[in-house]
A and B are shown apart, each in its own frame.
Chain A
Amino acid sequence: MNAKERDRRRFLKEGVALAGLAMGAIRSANGQAPGSEQPGIRPGKFRAYGERSRFETAVRMQKSPGSSSSFAPLQDQMGIITPSALFFVQSVYSSGDDPLDIDPQQHRLLIHGMVDRPLTFTMDELKRLPSVSRIHFIECEGNSRFSIRGKNDAGVAETAQEIHGISGCSAWTGVLVSLLLREAGVQKGASWLIAEGAETNKMVRSIPLEKAMDDVIVAYGQNGEALRPENGYPVRLVVPGWDGNINIKWLRRIKVVDQPYMTHQESATRPSLRLDGKARWFQWEMGPKSVITRPSGGQRLPSRGFYEITGLAWSAGGAIRRVEVSTDGGRTYKDAQLQEPVLRKAFTQFTFPWNWNGEETVLQSRCTDERGDVQPTLAELGKIWGVTPEYWQATTNHINHFNPIFPWKVTREGSVHNALF
């Protein structure tokens, strides 16, 4: 057994352990065995920085042993806000120094290039500027591809976390890029910017000026407090609705330019190949996607009877207008209830009452955004790509922007499984 195989097996084992946790979660109404090792903390004892109850066990899942990248436990998320401590982490160029330990007093944001006034901001200066707080999702462009059997190099993905957990939604606080660029004075002919992080390899991505001026945020806050180090402390870019990869963390530089810079990410790794061998450049917008998070893969329904089906829906196209749920494998759909708030380019929670009769069935959801774009079936997505669904299983091509309707199969025993293929 080589090292890779060992890693894979370890991953699978951990996956099973996580599935066990998830199982406990849906059974929490029946009383779950408490966590044990942590010392008891008496209620009422002062805690300068709060911790959750020792009975709560939702955690990020490491992408692979030794990796700093991780998936968020979407199946345990309550409402639309992903807690900072559970927000997914994908660091493309981590080389052992992640999370970065950046002193905010030393950190600078440089704005230069095709501007009248190049500017360097300290964190204190950024925080003096007019700010916004907005709720937006961030989703890795490769999210959900592990739903494809045989696609996950670490084994079969079963849970909402393993399949869809490279996404999250938070309240971001910071300064609009449009404000910063107005301060610097964008010159005629400028049409793009490049944004660069401060990590060892200085991740850099190109962004069209139209998008930057529309709604991009230079964010220093997440969910009411400073960003966590692994998510870009002290300051990052939030590019609402677009590929997670473009939301540069540890932001140190914005250069205004007149063309895309075709960085390594943009030229060598991100474009997705068509069947004719041509590559799609910059797709950016994450399409309408909905996921039932409860019940979801790896969980177990303890008995027949009532369950509230709940899930999350989001789209770069704006607000979610409608989510429909099917409890019969897509033969019929009924409208789910959208829970407030329903915000543009943010997670929207949906709920749907359901009585399980104990028979095998398939649960799935589809959403429609404010543009009228509907989450496609696997076959419909195949048509857009110009492929049959088998293609996704067979190819080693980089699969991104993968948002078909996701089915969960419920067995007679009450176990729930990924049933996409």
Chain B
Amino acid sequence: MRCFNLFVPVLALAACVAALAQTPTYNLGRTPSAEEIRAWDLVIGPEGKELPPGSGSAKEGAKIYEQKCPQCHGPTGAETGPGLFHRPLVGGKGTLNTLRPVLTIGSFWPFATTIWSFINRTMPPGEEGSLSADEVYALTAFLLYRNGIIQESDVMDAKSLPMIQMPNRNGFVPPKLEDIPDLRKRGCRGGACP
């Protein structure tokens, strides 16, 4: 069935998706347990559906940051330089339309959930997955606070984090997520999008 061409109209696409919901042909593979799925289901989408229980504030996050992060990200997250990660976490406002854009959480990242997801999965290097959910919420809150997006006392949890409006949320083309897949409609051609 080759009904999935990139540019098929939406209605035809819906029909194709519906046609997929059929009985299996080969009956290979086994059904994973709910626990197996939960253990791996740790990528957080923009709506934060996968966020676990827990909470944290910037105040708590500052202490964790101080213990685990300055080695690569500097004392405040705004630093770069020899031995430090090449991209700062804080600052960069007003640089995106210059020759030297500084892409940080505050200046660039469109969704706050990405911060939680990324810290949880990859930080600190060598000890990935060692932070508790509370610690990840606290660090996320700290970085949001350092970027001037929330107050120091604001508590981040599974409800509040997806509600955060990131400063550069509207800095992307196309602006709507549902418009992304249609390269032709976006005017992309020959591997380049306008």
Contacts and interface: CB of A to CB of B under 8 A. Distances in A.
A binds B: yes
B101 A397 contact: yes
A213 B2 CA distance: 8
Interface centre among B17, B24, B101, B183 (most CB of A within 10 A): B17
Contacts of A129: 26, 28
Nearest to A384: B192
B43 A263 contact: yes
**Which of B18, B30, B82, B100 has the most chain A CB atoms inside 10 A of its CB?**
B30
Contacts of A316: 191
A261 interface: yes
B190 A282 contact: no
Interface string A270-286: 01011111111111111
A315 B181 CA distance: 19
A260 B30 contact: no
Given A110-B32, A282-B180, A286-B191, A204 B8 contact: no
Interface stretch (A117-125, A339-347, A412-420): A117-125
Contacts of B122: 93, 200-202, 264
A191 B176 CA distance: 14
Nearest to B45: A261
A119 B191 contact: no
B192 A273 contact: no
Interface stretch (A34-42, A61-69, A177-185, A355-363): A177-185
A281 B172 contact: yes
Contacts of B18: 188
A391 B101 CA distance: 13
Contact of A178 (B4, B97, B180): B4
B24 A183 contact: yes
Given A201-B122, A208-B181, A278 B172 contact: yes
Contacts of A278: 96, 171-173
Contacts of A202: 42, 121-122
Nearest to A198: B40
A28 interface: no
A194 interface: yes
A2 B82 contact: yes
A291 to B, nearest CB: 15
Given A125-B28, A283-B192, A95 B108 contact: no
Find the residue from B22, B180, B192 having the highest chain A CB count within 10 A: B192
A349 interface: no
B128 A200 contact: yes
A183 B4 contact: no
B148 interface: no
Interface stretch (B59-67, B111-119, B134-142, B152-160): B111-119
Given A210-B13, A211-B6, A396-B99, A401 B41 contact: no
B189 interface: yes
B11 interface: no
B110 interface: yes
A118 B32 contact: yes
A285 B191 contact: yes
Given A182-B20, A259-B45, A278-B173, A121 B192 contact: no
For chain A, the bracket of interface size reads: 35 or more
Nearest to B40: A253
A183 B25 contact: yes
B173 A120 contact: no
B133 interface: no
B21 A186 contact: yes
A119 B4 contact: no
B172 A271 contact: yes
B125 interface: yes
Contacts of A192: 181
B29 A119 contact: yes
A376 interface: yes
Interface in A375-413: 375-376, 381, 384-385, 391, 394-397, 401, 403
A182 B110 CA distance: 33
A285 B178 CA distance: 18
Nearest to B179: A281
Interface string B37-50: 10011111111000
B192 A381 contact: yes
Interface in B162-184: 171-174, 177-178, 180-181, 183
B103 interface: yes
Interface string A255-269: 101011111100111
Contact of B191 (A187, A261, A401): A401
A55 to B, nearest CB: 38
B84 interface: no
A196 interface: yes
B128 A261 contact: no
Contacts of B109: 267-268
Given A184-B24, A281-B180, A374-B190, 12 more contacts: A112-B41, A183-B24, A200-B122, A211-B181, A255-B43, A259-B46, A264-B114, A275-B97, A277-B96, A280-B173, A384-B189, A403-B191
19 contacts: A4-B82, A112-B32, A120-B29, A120-B36, A202-B42, A208-B181, A252-B40, A255-B43, A259-B45, A261-B45, A262-B111, A263-B114, A268-B103, A268-B109, A271-B172, A278-B96, A279-B172, A288-B190, A385-B192
Interface of A: 2-4, 93, 95-96, 110-112, 116-121, 125, 128-130, 178, 181-192, 194, 196, 200-202, 204, 208-214, 252-253, 255, 257, 259-264, 267-269, 271, 273-288, 315-317, 373-376, 381, 384-385, 391, 394-397, 401, 403
Pick the 5 closest A-B CB pairs, nearest first.
A287-B191, A277-B97, A277-B96, A213-B4, A373-B190
